[in-house]
């Protein structure tokens, strides 16, 4: 059974600082890994999808890396802004099933 862990559970940084969010998973036989953003009381918005054959994906200020052998993925957010405040969830896909971590709640202070 896939277990996904996200550390830290919460993070508070001043505006402009770079963010590093960590995700680890126990079963390396994944199809892909996806990062989501969740605002309070809202659904999940997909940020980045990394296929199992890829090492990283980039979109604007966001960059996600994947190391299957070590069971780790990292989401980098450059030059953080108050609008980046949200909960970030990573999810590993095995056999078309998504297993989620509990998320990292980010607060960017103006």
Partner 1 sequence: EAGVAQSPRYKIIEKRQSVAFWCNPISGHATLYWYQQILGQGPKLLIQFQNNGVVDDSQLPKDRFSAERLKGVDSTLKIQPAKLEDSAVYLCASSSPRSYGYTFGSGTRLTVV
Contact residues for partner 1, defined by CB under 8 A:
4, 31-32, 34, 36, 41-46, 49, 51, 89, 91, 93, 96-103
Task: Give, in order, the Cα–Cα distances in Å from 16 to each of 6, 28, 41.
Answer: 23, 34, 26
In this complex, which beta carbon is closest to partner 1, that of residue 17 or of residue 74? 74
Distance (Å, rounded) from C-alpha 35 to C-alpha 12?
19
CB of 43: closest distance to partner 1 in angstroms? 4
Alpha carbon distance 51, 41 (integer Å): 29
Nearest-approach distance from CB 1 to partner 1, in angstroms: 10
Output 16 or 58, the one with its CB closest to partner 1: 58
Q: Tell the residue number behind the tokens 């103006």, with chain if given.
A: 110
């Amino acid at each position: 059974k896939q277990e996904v862990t996200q550390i830290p559970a919460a993070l508070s940084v001043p505006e402009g600082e770079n963010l590093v969010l960590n995700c680890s998973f126990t079963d390396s036989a994944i199809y892909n890994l996806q990062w989501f953003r969740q605002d309070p009381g809202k659904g999940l918005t997909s940020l980045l999808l990394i296929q199992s054959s890829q090492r990283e994906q980039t979109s604007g200020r966001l960059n996600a890396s994947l190391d299957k052998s070590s069971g780790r993925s990292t989401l980098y957010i450059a030059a953080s802004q108050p609008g980046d405040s949200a909960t970030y969830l990573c999810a590993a896909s095995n056999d078309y099933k998504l297993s989620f971590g509990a998320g990292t709640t980010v607060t960017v202070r103006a």
